[in-house]
Structure 1
Amino acid sequence: MTGAVTGTVTGPVTGPVSAPTLAELAHPPQDHTYAFLDESAKRELRRTVLRAIALPGHQVPYASREVPIARGWGTGGLQATLALVGPQDTVKVIDQGADDSVNAANLRRFIARMTGVPTTTDATQATLIQSRHRVPEEVLGAGQVLVLQVPDPEPLRAVESDLSAARQLHADADYGLLWLGLFEQLIRYGWIIQGASYPALVHGRYVISPSPIPRWDVPKLHQAAHLTLLSAGREKRLYAVPPYTDVRPLQFDDVPYRVEDMNGKACVRTGAAHKFLNELPQEGGSSLHELSDAGYGETLLRGREDGQVRPGATYYDDEGGFYHDGYLAR
């Protein structure tokens, strides 16, 4: 018999089976793509991140997209975060250590709305941390990603205004002008006054501007277990410090690198010492000090209240010792 259907039918046949409708096959309607950026933009940024990891410290260009915040307010960090964040992530956003500043709150709200991911103020619980000008006090671990907003990625700009010439100096690993600038500071002032964005040599090859983080935070990038991404949206550059990579601030053999002096100072709210503190001027000319890392301060206060919450290990111990022995001069 031609055209016969072979095989067996299992289960009762109750009638003709209707094909699913287009509405049933389509995703629920939404007014944006996941994480706001279109898929091609996210793929390009992820490729840029891979190139930056492969060449530690090298500035990799990318096509910076428009996002609903102004240039100079963290567009680079936001784009990197949106390209990497996934449903399994927990996000923390800080602005100079604060979780509740206008910049941090708005970026956190936007990321949560565009992705639906949970947010936290605890650095140890976050898988993705976007920060403006600070590295958390608690030691970040493997699997965590720190995204730093960068206003100016070029460490040579102060000594070489021609960007084409600066790129050639990077290619030749010729950083003599930077060393000369540090030497002039030493001769003129008796010490190196360079504060935030202190130049650092990554993996013995490229000198970077490690965002406007204070000198206190630069050593935290050395041999860190976490990945650090530094993204400048306005300048369309991204560079990285991969896990377990050497990061050495530029220093002369007889003039050791020193961080901000926090000796004799303590947080007025938590009593924490040998941590990076903000100065709070008072009437009469005196000053109080408060932890710059607000999330760490909250953890300390909660731990005192219930006795169960414990902060993670910090880069600087209670005596001011850095967690990598011998890295900093005491």
Structure 2
Amino acid sequence: MNNYNFAFFDEGSKREIRRASLKAVCIPGYQVPFASREMPIGRGWGTGGLQLTLSLIGLKDILKVIDQGSDESVNAVNIKKLIKKTTGVRVTTKTEESTLIQSRHRIPEKKLKEGQILVLQVPTPEPLRMVEKSEFKTKRLHADKEYSGAWLMLFEQIIKYRKMTTGADHPVLVNNRYVTAPSPIPKFDNPKLNNSEALILLGAGREKKIYAIPPYTKVKSLDFEDYKFEVESFKEKKCKLCGAENVYLDEVIDNKTGEKYYQCNDSSYCLERVNTLGGNGDE
């Protein structure tokens, strides 16, 4: 740790990222440009989220890092190693213990509380990119609150497939003003953004953008009067390991038997239930 400045970055870099973060909090859903730094990991592997985490973390923080629900994936483990090596902060797998959570593609199953910060890694922060390639034009569309392109994209899905087919990164309207990309979280997690007690920061290192959903902010997933937004359904399904229901589940096929079963995507949530309740959630 002595070979690095605290949290890797120099203090000027951290201040610049904090200023961008503050602006993002003041204008919910607005994409704030920032001078994305070079990192010891490749762009596209979470540099935006990592830069936010390194600029915000303090000695008293407790860190949790997850990647698609797992605390022990390669991406999550290596990000934790870098942050711990340059800060010495305590790390945890328990959502309720953490003060700062960095995540790729998931929001933890346990409800986040006041005082916690969730940092989401974002590959494509512009929700209109599929309908407009020009950055100059998308900025003008946001300024004019002209989001017909986003609804047109969803309408085309309905025409082709009789339903909205966005599996993840379903666009949301933040604070009745900006249409925003929630990062590639599954639709199941979109409702957790609405009136969240925690501060949610989203960072895109490659695209050099930071945006935020402050606590207790209204967030609505885009839909139509006759085609409502719906999350993934796991009705009548439960986790084979802990028995959890009404959570986001992964479909797993046993290589030996060919049996198909489901288990919690959030690994720490599942493990905690197994340790508390025993296998299959039985008391």
Same fold (TM over 0.5): yes
1:48-63 aligned at under 5 Å gives the runs 48-63=20-35
Q: Partners in 1 of 2:151 and 2:130 — Cα distance?
A: 12
Residue 297 of structure 1 is aligned with which of 270, 278, 281? 270
TM-score, length-normalised on structure 1? 0.82
Amino acid in structure 1 at the alignment position of 2:93: T
Tell me by how many angstroms 1:286 deviates: 4.2
Cα deviation, residue 44, structure 1: 0.3
Task: Supply the AA of the counterpart residue of 1:100.
Answer: E
Per-residue deviation, residues 187-237 of structure 1 (Å, max 9, x unmatched): 111111011100000000001110000000011000010000000000000
- How far the C-alpha of 1:72 sits from its partner, in A, is 0.4
Paired AA for residue 195 in structure 2: Q
Q: Deviations over 1:222-259 (max 9, x none)?
A: 00100000000000000000000000000101211100
For residues 36 and 58 of structure 2, the distance between their equivalents in structure 1, rounded to whole angstroms, comes to 20
Q: Distance in 2 between matches of 1:97 and 1:178?
A: 28
- 1:85 and 1:36 mapped to 2: Cα distance? 11
User: 2:234 aligns to what?
Assistant: 262
What's the counterpart of residue 149 of structure 1? 121
Match of 1:252 in 2: 224
The answer for the alignment partner of 1:21 in structure 2 is none
Q: How does 1:78-227 map to 2 (within 5 A)?
A: 78-227=50-199
The offset of 1:184, in angstroms, is 1.2
Report % sequence identity. 50
Distance 1:275 1:123 in 2: 15
Structure index of larger Rg:
1
Partner of 1:273 in structure 2? 245
**Equivalences for residues 38-57 of structure 1 within 5 A:** 38-57=10-29
Cα distance in 2 for residues equivalent to 1:53 and 1:62: 14
Q: Deviations over 1:256-283 (max 9, x none)?
A: 1100011111111101111101111235
Structure 1 counterpart of 2:209 = 237
Structure 2 spans left out of the alignment, 5+ residues:
279-283
Q: Which residue identity is paired with 1:32? A: Y
One-letter identity of the residue aligned with 1:173: K
How far apart, CA to CA, are the structure 2 residues paired with 1:282 and 1:139? Answer: 31
- 1:197 and 1:30 map into 2 onto residues whose CA distance is 40
What is the root-mean-square deviation in Å for CA atoms of aligned residues?
1.1
Instruction: Specify which of 275, 278, 288 is matched with residue 261 of structure 2.
Output: 288
Deviation at 1:285, TM superposition (A): 5.5
Whole-angstrom CA distance in 1 between matches of 2:112 and 2:212: 16
C-alpha separation in 1, matches of 2:104 and 2:140 = 29
Instruction: For 1:214 and 1:130, locate their aligned partners in 2 and report how far apart those are by CA, in whole Å.
Output: 16
Q: TM-score, normalised by structure 2?
A: 0.96
* Residue from 46, 52, 69 that aligns with 1:74: 46
Distance 1:86 1:285 in 2: 47
Task: Provide the secondary structure at the position in 2 that maps to 1:229.
Answer: strand
Task: State how far apart, in whole Å, the 2-side matches of 1:184 and 1:95 are.
Answer: 31
- The 3-state SS of whatever aligns with 1:31 is coil
Separation in 2, partners of 1:101, 1:268:
21
